[in-house]
Amino acid sequence: MKIYGHLIVHNEFPDCLRAIESIYPVCDEILVVHDGTHKPMIEFLEARKDIYNMKVFYNPFTTVREQRQFLVDQTPIGNWIIALDADERYSSGITKELRNCLLNQLSQKHYNTAREGNVPLVINIPVYNLVKDITHYDGEGVYHSQKIFYYEEGLHWDYDEYFTHITYKKGPLSFDDGADTTVYSIIGPKDWVLLHYARLNPERLKWRADHIGDPKFGKYEKGAWEKEPPKIVELESNKW
């Protein structure tokens, strides 16, 4: 059994390096897909692919869902996948401890239960949206079951073009029926979180403003990312 990193990139040079370095100690290999249109990113990836044990693919962009599926299709069955976006990074607890957890600490019962239920086996962790600066977040950790999962034959990405979901069910998925999107979830330790930097990036905010209402990029309303969160909380040091 091996662990593969999955990373979709576009023009997030050089910020994607923090994402890469947060999964490098965990993964046997990192699979990266780029649409091939941003020369600085191409040069960056090609110069560093051996350093970070990355296999870089160039695939024309249609939707985020299709790029995620492209990476799944390049991954050998029967292995773990650690996915993240270029504007994210895993907390140090995950970077240090996840590999041993996946390869040595999970019971065969977990795999059997997920297989019998025909649902993905996942490690469920919260995503923290950083705001104001890199030491504060919006006060809510939204649990995410689409980042760390075991890959068996038939698993694929479905649902929305942007807000995607892993499943073994034949589509189309609907969140109106919870059975469609059920997973077998193992909750990670409290210091295992995913940090999301998008709202700290002026270029990212401008890009988001230029894509208001676009279903390929979340169909966000105008000003959705600029609103002041109801609560801003200092990030605990053990989640850094």
Q: 41: exposed, middle or buried (C-beta count within 10 Å: 0-12, 13-18, 19+)? A: buried
pLDDT tens for 155-178 read 999 998 988 999 999 878 887 776
The closest of 231, 60, 17 to 132, measured between CA atoms, is: 231
DSSP state of 179: G
The DSSP H or E segment spanning 195 is strand 194-196
Q: How far apart (Å, rounded) are the C-alpha atoms in residues 63 and 88?
A: 19
This prediction has a pTM of 0.94
For the record, the structure tokens of 213 come out as: 């209402």
pLDDT tens for 15-53 read 899 999 999 999 999 999 999 888 888 999 999 999 999
Mean pLDDT, residues 68-92: 97
* Neighbour count for residue 234 (Cβ, 10 Å): 10
pLDDT band at 236 (very low <50, low <70, confident <90, very high): very high
Domains of the chain: 3-239 (3.90.550)
The closest of 4, 6, 10, 7 to 216, measured between CA atoms, is: 10
Mean pLDDT, residues 4-22: 92
User: At which residue do the structure tokens 């025909």 appear?
Assistant: 118
pLDDT band at 202 (very low <50, low <70, confident <90, very high): confident
Mean pLDDT, residues 212-217: 80
Residues in the chain: 240
Residue 31 bridge partners (DSSP): 6, 55
- β-pair type (3-9, 79-85): parallel
